[in-house]
Amino acid sequence: MPNNENITNEEKSKNIQSMFDNIADKYDFLNGVLSFAMDDKWRQKAIQLADIQDNHKVLDLACGTGDMIIEIKKQHPLCHVFGGDFSINMLHHCREKIPLCPLSAADAHFLPYKDNSFDRLTIAFGFRNVTDKLKGLSEFHRVIKPGGKVCILELTKPENSFTGFFYKLYFMYILPVIGGIFSSKKAYKYLPESVYHFPKRKEYRQLIEDAGFKNITFKSLVFGAVTITVMEK
């Protein structure tokens, strides 16, 4: 991705979209390797905190190749799950894994769904790629039913300086090398940069409140390297 402060949010989104299209083939494999096979457990925990019920209509946004959808259906086989992603190549892989799941090309800034459509919205490891986060959160709020919940599972920067040192060492120097061996070094250089530019907790909460949400909770995992945020409309 170009490192240009003058680039517009729309251009950033297009660059990120293109990047994910290019790494779709190796995405699942690298997720497991780079998270030390912990990503599935994080998804399981997020789904539990989202308080999904079997009669719910759920949107999994930034669904990627479908791992979150698969886990939701494992825990709640009777709920209705829809997937959305702005990467067409990711959606192709998701379709291969989950042929019967309704999928849509969906940009978080302009969701192609009617108001008050879903009981729950989940987004795993995708919110940091939303370039205008207030706009994205406002769209989440629009498509969720009153009383519905949004659950965001995201990589975050540990606030503890000791943990943060080793986190930075791995994410800034080791991860891009591993990613470059199997896929795109540029993409896995972008990953730590996107985490380090993610809003800090206070700013993050304010954005969520500004979008109209309430009852906001944060659950930190792995010494703050992963955060699950749940909010209610």
Q: Where are the domains of the chain?
A: 9-159+199-232
| Separation of alpha carbons 49 and 53, rounded Å | 11
Please enumerate in sequence order all residues whose Cβ is within 8 A of that of 97, keeping only pairs 6 or more positions apart, or say none.
Answer: 65, 66, 70
Two structure tokens written together for 111: 């969701």
- Quick: pLDDT tens for 103-145: 999 999 999 999 999 999 999 999 999 999 999 999 999 999 9
pLDDT for 114 equals 98
pLDDT for 183 equals 67
Two structure tokens written together for 195: 């985490």
Q: Which CATH superfamily is domain 9-159+199-232 in?
A: Vaccinia Virus protein VP39 (3.40.50.150)
What residues form DSSP beta bridges with 227?
Answer: 154, 220
| Separation of alpha carbons 60 and 103, rounded Å | 10
Please enumerate in sequence order all residues whose Cβ is within 8 A of that of 40, keeping only pairs 6 or more positions apart, or say none.
Answer: 67, 71
pLDDT for 164 equals 74
Q: pLDDT-derived band of residue 62, with 50, 70 and 90 as boundaries?
A: very high
| Separation of alpha carbons 27 and 172, rounded Å | 19
Q: pLDDT-derived band of residue 1, with 50, 70 and 90 as boundaries?
A: very low
- Quick: pLDDT tens for 135-190: 999 999 999 999 999 999 999 988 777 777 787 787 777 777 777 776 666 777 78
pTM above the 0.75 mark? Answer: yes
pLDDT for 216 equals 98
